[in-house]
Amino acid sequence: MTRALPAFSLGEEHLELRAAVRGLCEKEIAPRAAGVDANEAFPEASLRALTAARLHAVTLPERYGGEGGDHLAGVVVAEEVARACATTQQVAGSDELFALPLLLAGSEEQRQRYLPRIASGEGLGAFALSEPEAGSDVAAISTRATPTEGGWVLRGTKRWITNAGHADVYLVFAATGPKGGGKGLAAFVVEAGDPGLSFGAPERKMGMRGSPTREVYFDDVFVPADRLVGEPGEGMRIALATLDRTRATVAAQAVGIAQGALDVAVAYLTERLQFGKPLAAFQGLQFMVADMETQIRAARALTHAAARELDAHGGDITAAGAVAKCFASDMAMKVTTDAVQLLGGAGYVRDFPVERMMRDAKVTQIYEGTNQIQRLVIARSLLGAS
């Protein structure tokens, strides 16, 4: 059942974009979502449909072959795709994670070399930051970049890397100083064909099962000097500035998952009969869906506000992104859990998509900064703590 969404504060252009994305998703992406999850299959056909419609990287600037959409357009697209298939949105979203560091700190030559490939769909991007001993503690990165004639040699391991093994290009963070640490990080572009690059086995995940997540190994990978993004020592700034901007996208993903779960629950409540009447007639269940709708609207408003702040200022939106991501992902976990409850036994089996949505929602509380880290970020923005 498709319900018309309220317009909120979106203008005509963004409303038209949302309608177009929803139409595409309902036709090309949603029907494949259960199979992608059940088979842990890379969403090739869904990604191809997004790419053909030029919706996979809508915020890339026009001068690099993109659509030049603002960040609000980006979160509108992310929500609609995640509503249909969170895995597909996650795979496509890594293009933004690859591209943003180049837009923030890359040279014009690097942008011209790589971003048109992302914009056309010819290339798929990945963002390699986390490590076995460096998740929330980014400064603990131990992957090392050693200078050599003509470039750098990378050695180390990255973990939890989306699109690993499928991506054509990787934005990799490594320590360049003698002891690493936050002041000694640098960012590099690594290409899939570089000798010494290899991958671990696919992770067996609770959710987002068609989004490939693997370890990435750098065994003396030579990276030419012209693939250093920014300067040595700027890696921490580049990484955190990227995540500040992409957390609004994660928030949109969480809102989309929750909206999809609520849509299923509402349809089920109107059709399922108990005690001689539809479940929708029972006040206790009415209160549950009312709370779900309220929470989704609040999360969407925070997400749109973060995107608008970024569009307006283009600078430090650390708190806005953290607030949106933290609230929306916690909301998505609660709403999807409640959706399973509303469907009862039917919600617990794969005949209905809410159990998949509940599993998919969980990771939004974890990646791109756990919600515990988001709360630290928010508190520090208020209190000025170190």
**Average pLDDT estimate for 322-350:** 98
Residue 351 has pLDDT above 60, yes or no: yes
Residue 180's pLDDT band (cuts 50, 70, 90):
low
341 Cβ contact partners less than 8 Å away, ≥ 6 residues apart:
288, 347
Establish if 189 belongs to a structural domain: yes
Residue 6 lies in a domain: no
Per-residue confidence (pLDDT) for residue 318, from 0 to 100 = 82
| 63 and 198 belong to one structural domain | no
CATH number for 280: 1.20.140.10
Mean pLDDT, rounded, for 50-60: 95
Answer whether residue 215 shows pLDDT above 80. yes
Question: How many other β-carbons are positioned within 10 Å of the β-carbon of residue 238?
Answer: 23
3-class secondary structure, 82 = helix
Please, which pLDDT band fits residue 316 given cuts at 50, 70 and 90? Answer: low
Domain match, 300 and 353 both: yes
Q: What is the pLDDT of residue 251?
A: 98
Shared domain for 372 and 276, answered yes or no, is yes
- Structural domain includes residue 75: yes
Domain limits for position 302: 236-383
pLDDT of residue 314: 66
Domain shared by 114 and 180, yes or no? no
Q: Tell whether 341 is covered by a domain.
A: yes
147 pLDDT more than 50: yes
Residues 241 and 370 reside in one and the same domain: yes
CATH of the domain at 185: 2.40.110.10
pLDDT mean over 130-141: 90
| Residue (of 258, 227, 264, 240) closest to 329 by Cα position | 258
Q: Are 35 and 59 in the same domain?
A: yes
User: Does residue 60 sit within a domain?
Assistant: yes
Statement to judge: residues 276 and 370 lie in one domain: yes
pLDDT value at 216 more than 50: yes
Residue 147 falls within a domain, yes or no?
Answer: yes
Domain endpoint, select from 233, 266, 296: 233
Quote the percentage of the chain above a pLDDT of 90: 89
Q: Quick check: is 308 in a domain?
A: yes
Q: Which among 195, 214, 233 is the end of a domain?
A: 233
Instruction: Judge if 171 and 222 occupy the same domain.
Output: yes
Do 298 and 320 lie in a common domain? yes
Asked if 95 and 135 sit in the same domain, the reply is no
pLDDT band for position 1 (50/70/90)? very low
Q: Which of the listed residues 90, 120, 150 is the one where a domain comes to its end?
A: 120
**Would you say residue 206 lies in a domain?**
yes
Confidence of residue 181 (pLDDT cuts 50, 70, 90): low
Q: What is the DSSP letter of 368?
A: S
- Residue 349, Cβ density class (10 Å: 0-12 exposed, 13-18 middle, ≥19 buried): exposed
134 and 106 belong to one structural domain: no
pLDDT, average across residues 105-117:
98
Closest CA relative to residue 53, chosen from 19, 86, 83, 87: 19
Higher pLDDT, 68 or 181: 68
Work out the average pLDDT over 350-378.
Answer: 96
Task: Assign residue 53 the CATH number of its domain.
Answer: 1.10.540.10
Instruction: Look at the chain and report how many structural domains it folds into.
Output: 3
Q: Does position 179 have pLDDT exceeding 70, yes or no?
A: no
Helix or strand holding residue 83 (H, E)? helix 71-84
| pLDDT of residue 54 exceeding 90 | yes
Which is catalytic among the residues 28, 67, 131, 368? 368
| One domain for residues 229 and 243 | no
Query: Is 108 marked active-site?
Result: no
At 135 the pLDDT is 87
- Provide the pLDDT for residue 75: 97
Interatomic CA distance for residues 217 and 210, integer angstroms: 21
Distance CA 249, CA 307 (A): 9
